[in-house]
Amino acid sequence: MMAANIDETVKVDREALFQLALRLGDTSLILGHRLSEWAGHAPILDEDIALSNLGLDLIGQARSFLTYAGEVEGRGRDEDTLAYLRNAPEYRNLLMVELPRGDFAFTMMRQFLFSAFQLPLYQKLMQSRDKTLAAISAKAEKEMAYHLRHSSQWVVRLGDGTEESHQRVQNALNTLWTYTGEMFETDASLKALIEAGVYCDPASIRDIWNKTINDVLEQATLTRPETGWMQSGSLSGRHSEHLSHLLAEMQSVQRAYPGLKW
Amino acid sequence: MSDKSSDSPIWEVFIRSKNGLSHNHVGSVHATDKEMALQNARDVYTRRAEGTSIWVVLSSDIAASDPMNKDELFEPGSDKIYRHPTFYDIPDEVGHM
Amino acid sequence: MYTQALNDPANKIANVAEDDEEQYARFMARIDADEKIEPNDWMPDSYRKTLIRQISQHANSEIIGMLPEGNWNTRAPTLRRKATLLAKIQDEGGHGLYLYSAAETLGISREEMEHQLITGKARYSSIFNYPTLSWADIGTIGWLVDGAAIMNQIPLCRCSFGPYARAMVRVCKEESFHQRQGYEILLALCNGSDEQKEMAQDSINRWWWPSIMMFGPHDTDSTHSDQSMAWKIKRISNDDLRQKFIDATVPQAHFLGLEIPDPDMKYNEETGHWEFGEIDWDEFKQVLAGNGPCNRERLAARTQAFEDGKWVQEAALAHANKQAARAASKEAA
């Protein structure tokens, strides 16, 4: 089965494109899921609504990417089959997004570090030779611009707030830093997609990301951690302990009653 | 009634629902700064694309007329009918003016 | 405008002490003429208090109402359901905020209302003290609980207090999607496997009676009704609304192929109404008194959120103060 949306002039390996769509979709889905855990529990009511909005944007992106992944794969899997019937090792999301939501400082810092990368990534992917990826990215780009604005303002408020909030958000930064390297990783199949003009070289985003991070951390009076060893594993499906718990919960209804319509 | 210092200020929210219309008051939000007020207003009052523009203003910065003075403020306007076009007689032959 | 400063009730009372009765007569004339009362208009203290009690209770219900559904947020069985459920829960938070904002125009702060909620001084709808045990409950809540809420809220769009009425117009507009998404979930289950149908029936069995209790005690036993009707805060009686709800939902249940768990339920050809059995008011009172299955958990969750919010709120205020100080010293320099 040939998906209608794939630009036939682009010669790429199907499996590589499938993996890329999964990487983008899974990352959005898992982060959206983590944000949705706040609903009803967020520290300030207005922020409860805001976090749901961020989550809804990400779940929307995930649905588009996963639907496309299913089309590219051509084995009849749709967004739900992919989301609910894959096990942790088959997930391709960044490790950073599967970490438990932590406190509000952790949630906001993660959102900031991620959006600061994802915004320029989508801006570049709007030029992708793959028309579907370009179209999804064009929509997602506006959403990520808002996520970055919202999260960076909170990082500044918390960093330049009270002693307690400063400490909390600095701790979050220190914990998350080791997971930031993964955003810039590539492997052989991603490199082939970069060659083909389908994906963008994440190295080309590093300067923009660094500038955003440094500007905001400075306003927030936070200290950028030394870049040392970086965690890695999402490209090969080697995750943290947290993902399988998350999936066990998320997939529980589908797994308990296999093959039904909901 | 309560004026606890940990309460963040109230901002009144005005939304322009469509291009060409004026901003209308829709309610209020709490926020500690204007960026937060704008974003809270966006998230609380425009979840269904109800707006094209948002104004927020600190409630405490609004001066309002006292309803006790309603008569002296607004009654005088109601008998100045010469401010309305129907006050003037124009012969029908002139047509619409 | 909606500032608290302009609404200082002490100030108002001092001004009108000598001609209170005349004020009250004028106030009632406006109510009778279906005029809206606005925050800075003169109003009797008891009208203000009744509204604060009712609006804050309504707001609290929206906020607590996020919790039972939030329990399934992370387990919604498809991505479409996940997105719609999250959007619905978010709406409830939004509705809570519209209502807190309306109540604040009467001179009570949101923080105080939240405080009254977590200390048990203010009530919320007792329905949210029941647990959500299966995915079908998400459907049932949308269909019955939101359905009952809408039934209650539509007449409130014509309530005499302007900010409350306007908030209700927004809420009603947004909530029609809630009931439909709930019914759609049940449709999927009832058109599905036997297990799914059983899940749906079990859910109705548990939620039916609490839902019809949402309309409150019988008119003969309702303490606040008469005065609220006279002030046009309340416009239709508890029993009338309950009957309307039952007449609307019984055929909807039958369409799903589900049974209403009331052996006395029967259609009266003459009146055109569904007649129903005795409501267990003991259960209602017990749940209201704090003995429902989830009362403690619900309050504990909101208390936790409130406590967790303190350092965030303090940080935001501290940052705003620092920014203001910096701006001031820049100006001075």
pLDDT band at C226 (very low <50, low <70, confident <90, very high): confident
pLDDT at A1 over 60: no
Read off the pLDDT of residues C192-221 as tens digits, 9 standing for 90 and up: 999 999 999 999 999 999 999 999 999 888
Read off the pLDDT of residues A135-149 as tens digits, 9 standing for 90 and up: 999 999 999 999 999
Q: What is the mean pLDDT of chain A?
A: 95
pLDDT band at A10 (very low <50, low <70, confident <90, very high): low
Cβ distance C50 to C228 under 8 Å?
A: yes
pLDDT band at A177 (very low <50, low <70, confident <90, very high): very high
Whether C111 and B1 lie within 8 Å, measured CB to CB: no
Place of tokens 């207003």: B41
Cβ distance B27 to B57 under 8 Å?
A: no
pLDDT at C14 over 70: no
- Taking CA–CA distances from C81, the nearest residue in chain A reads A262
pLDDT band at C5 (very low <50, low <70, confident <90, very high): very low
Number of A–B residue contacts, CB under 8 Å: 25
pLDDT at C42 over 50: yes
Domain extents for chain A?
Answer: 14-227+234-256
- Taking CA–CA distances from C189, the nearest residue in chain A reads A262
Question: What pLDDT sits at residue B51?
Answer: 86
In sequence order, the 6+-apart residues with CB closer than 8 A to the CB of C224 are C50, C234
- Taking CA–CA distances from C313, the nearest residue in chain A reads A44
Q: Does B73 touch chain A (CB under 8 A)?
A: no
Q: Which residues of chain B have pLDDT under 50?
A: 1-5
* Conformational region of residue C107, where left means phi above 0, alpha means psi within -120 to 50, and beta covers everything else: left
Contacts with C98 from chain B: Cβ below 8 Å: 27, 44
Place of tokens 């039904």: A260
Read off the pLDDT of residues A222-235 as tens digits, 9 standing for 90 and up: 999 998 999 999 99
* Main-chain phi, psi angles of B51, to 5 degrees: -140, 160
Say how far apart CA B5 and CA A262 lie, in whole Å.
Answer: 49
* Of the candidates A111, A18, A114, A109, the residue with the CA atom closest to the CA atom of residue A66: A18
- B79: helix, strand or coil: coil
Question: What pLDDT sits at residue A7?
Answer: 59
Question: What pLDDT sits at residue A5?
Answer: 56
Question: What pLDDT sits at residue A178?
Answer: 97
pTM of the model: 0.91
* Of the candidates C9, C255, C244, the residue with the CA atom closest to the CA atom of residue C108: C9
Say how far apart CA C4 and CA A49 lie, in whole Å.
Answer: 24
- B25: helix, strand or coil: strand
- Taking CA–CA distances from B33, the nearest residue in chain C reads C320
pLDDT band at C227 (very low <50, low <70, confident <90, very high): confident
pLDDT at C13 over 70: no
Q: What is the mean pLDDT of chain C?
A: 91
Contacts with C23 from chain B: Cβ below 8 Å: none
Read off the pLDDT of residues A205-253 as tens digits, 9 standing for 90 and up: 999 999 999 999 999 999 999 989 999 999 999 999 999 999 999 999 9
In eight-state DSSP terms, residue C109 is -
Task: Give the Å distances, CA to CA, from C165 to A7, C44, C66, C97, C194.
Answer: 53, 18, 22, 14, 44
Read off the pLDDT of residues A80-125 as tens digits, 9 standing for 90 and up: 999 999 999 999 999 999 999 999 999 999 999 999 999 999 999 9
Choose the mutation target among C1, C92, C113, C115 for the interface with B, i.e. most B CBs under 10 Å. C1
Whether A153 and B35 lie within 8 Å, measured CB to CB: yes
Say how far apart CA A224 and CA C8 lie, in whole Å.
Answer: 49
As its CATH architecture, domain A14-227+234-256 has: Up-down Bundle (1.20)
Say how far apart CA C129 and CA C71 lie, in whole Å.
Answer: 13
Question: What pLDDT sits at residue A3?
Answer: 46
- Chain C: residues touching B (Cβ < 8 Å): 1-6, 9, 15, 38, 40-42, 87, 90-91, 94, 97-98, 101-102, 104, 107-112, 163, 166-167, 170, 174, 310, 313-314, 316-317, 319-320, 323
Contacts with C196 from chain A: Cβ below 8 Å: 257, 260
Whether C196 and A79 lie within 8 Å, measured CB to CB: no
Question: What pLDDT sits at residue B66?
Answer: 78
Whether A59 and C97 lie within 8 Å, measured CB to CB: no
Read off the pLDDT of residues C86-117 as tens digits, 9 standing for 90 and up: 999 999 999 999 999 999 999 999 999 999 99
Cβ distance A71 to A5 under 8 Å?
A: yes
Q: What angle do CA A216, A221, A225 make, to 5 degrees?
A: 80
The full length of chain C comes to 333
Q: Which chains touch C (3 or more CB pairs under 8 A)?
A: A, B
* Of the candidates C14, C44, C146, the residue with the CA atom closest to the CA atom of residue C85: C146
Distance from CA of B40 to the nearest CA of A (A): 6
pLDDT at C58 over 70: yes
Q: Does C75 touch chain A (CB under 8 A)?
A: yes
* Main-chain phi, psi angles of C8, to 5 degrees: -60, 105
Contacts with B40 from chain A: Cβ below 8 Å: 46, 49-50
Place of tokens 């701006």: C327
Residue A56 has its nearest CB partner, among C87, C97, C195, at C87
Contacts with C304 from chain A: Cβ below 8 Å: 41
Whether C315 and A56 lie within 8 Å, measured CB to CB: no
ipTM score here? 0.95
Question: What pLDDT sits at residue C100?
Answer: 96
Question: What pLDDT sits at residue C8?
Answer: 39
Whether A59 and C86 lie within 8 Å, measured CB to CB: yes
pLDDT band at A24 (very low <50, low <70, confident <90, very high): very high
Question: What pLDDT sits at residue C16?
Answer: 46
